[in-house]
Structure 1
Amino acid sequence: MQRILTSAHAEQTINKSRFIAAVDYCENERAVAAALRKLASQHQGASHLAYAFRLKTEQGIVQRFSDAGEPSGTAGKPILQFLEGRDLINVCVGVIRYYGGINLGTGGLARAYGGTAKMALEAASTGPFVEMRQYRLQLSYNKLDQFVRELQQRHGEVRDKQFGEYVQLEISLPLSEEEWLIGRYGTP
């Protein structure tokens, strides 16, 4: 499985219709909804916003698509096929269409939506998908800097810090590094 490392955009005009694709990394359906809302707000005059996404969840892989009012199977499905073909996970691709007055037909729509999505996916950098898990833990102030260094060496990240008597941390860490965390800092 692969994941998107950088967001990307692509644009093309086909028979006077303008197609704009945006690729984003999304961890869950809330992030997908936020990415699509952002894209829609940037292109309020657009005719259509078709999309597809694939997410890894505890229940397995969830994937969905929307044709956004275009004929069935001509917009979202071609986008999803590129995600499946590249085995991309935790990714959302939205494709905006500004209608140019010329009907493209079902084959033309599928090629336009899928092709624009493909261009954006090719512009994005990808890497191996690493399953991450969220943890909460409490540290004393004198251990914080060392912990953050070790966490970064293990490709983890601090997602939130709360300061009080102790430092309350919310972190994201590759699942393969869980033994290190428990062995060094106890059960989170």
Structure 2
Amino acid sequence: MAYVLSKTSSYQEEIKKSRFEVVAGPVNSPEEALAFFAAHAVPTATHNCWAYRIGQLYRFNDDGEPGGTAGRPILQAIEGQDCDSVAVLVVRWFGGIKLGPGGLIRAYGGTAAQCLRLAEKQIWVPRVSVRCYCGFSDMALVQSRLPAFQAEVASEQFDGQGVIWSLTLPEAQAQAFRLAFVDLTRGQGRFLDDAEVSGGLAD
């Protein structure tokens, strides 16, 4: 079972006079992860080391620490805490005492794991995106039923007859929503592919 963070979390610890500050937050893309690191990095610190995992995508950075002693242990902490769609930054201020490779691995991995352990989390639910077209006459009824399928409107655009919705919803609810959508629109609504959306709806 995988978990995602509900919000940004932080944790601090001093290890042999080096100060470690961890910031972890939910992200949905590599671009969001890199922006998260840029926003929380401390330029005056000795090292800003990080890792992220988003599904099968992952990346880590040692930022000057010996190879394999910072970024990878942070990634392993993410995996050890069964987290997904998360970015973790560990900032270190060197305190004058060298920790050695083993000490660095324990420090970076341990503080990252503790931050994730204490973070507010929720069970990760796989979500899918669907695009559908609904006439104005059925719009209010369909919209009122979206919460029942935990469907969220990512975007909407209108033409002269109705609305194109881009929705995200739990994968497990997708088939039930498709059936309900057909019933609610009495067969008049339809699901669209990318070509229909970009090319317009004119028949």
Q: Which TM-score tier does this pair reach, normalised by the shorter chain?
A: 0.7 to 0.9
Gapped regions of structure 2 (runs ≥ 5): 182-189, 193-203
Q: Is the 8 A contact 2:51 2:60 kept in 1?
A: yes
Tell whether 2:159 aligns with 1:160.
Answer: no
Q: 3-state SS of the aligned residue for 2:45?
A: coil
TM-score (norm 2): 0.78
Instruction: Pick closer, same or farther for the CA change 1:5–1:163 going to 2, 3 Å.
Output: farther
Match among 105, 113, 123 for residue 108 of structure 2 = 113
Tell whether 2:90 aligns with 1:95.
Answer: yes
Q: 3-state SS of the aligned residue for 1:74?
A: coil
Paired position in structure 2 for 1:2: 2
Q: Percent identity?
A: 34
Give the drift of 1:98: 2.0
Out of 161-170 and 43-52, give the one that drifted further: 161-170
Q: Is the 8 A contact 1:148 1:158 kept in 2?
A: no
Q: Is the 8 A contact 1:23 1:121 kept in 2?
A: yes
Q: What are the residue-to-residue correspondences of 1:1-188 with 2, within 5 Å?
A: 1-6=1-6, 7-40=8-41, 43-56=42-55, 61-141=56-136, 143-162=138-157, 165=160, 166-185=162-181, 186-188=190-192
Out of 69-78 and 84-93, give the one that drifted further: 84-93
Instruction: Output the CA distance in 2 between the equivalents of 1:171 and 1:30.
Output: 22
Q: Is the 8 A contact 1:23 1:91 kept in 2?
A: yes
Instruction: Output the CA distance in 2 between the equivalents of 1:88 and 1:164.
Output: 41
Q: 3-state SS of the aligned residue for 1:23?
A: strand
Runs of at least 4 residues off by over 6 Å: none
Instruction: Output the CA distance in 1 between the equivalents of 2:139 and 2:21.
Output: 44
Instruction: Output the CA distance in 2 between the equivalents of 1:38 and 1:144.
Output: 40
The one-character-per-residue Cα deviations of 1:21-48 (angstroms, maximum 9, x if unpaired) are 11122222122112112112xx232221
Greater Rg over alpha carbons, structure:
2
RMSD, matched Cα: 2.2
Query: Which residue identity lines up with residue 105 of structure 2 in the other structure?
Result: A
Paired position in structure 1 for 2:195: none
Instruction: Output the CA distance in 1 between the equivalents of 2:13 and 2:89.
Output: 14
Q: 3-state SS of the aligned residue for 1:44?
A: coil
TM-score (norm 1): 0.83
Give the drift of 1:74: 1.0
Question: Number of residues paired by the alignment?
Answer: 182
Gapped regions of structure 1 (runs ≥ 5): none
Q: 3-state SS of the aligned residue for 2:150?
A: coil
Give the drift of 1:71: 0.6
Out of 66-75 and 178-187, give the one that drifted further: 178-187
Paired position in structure 1 for 2:196: none
Higher relative contact order (CA 8 A, sep 6+): 1
Q: 3-state SS of the aligned residue for 2:191?
A: coil
Q: Is the 8 A contact 2:81 2:116 kept in 1?
A: no
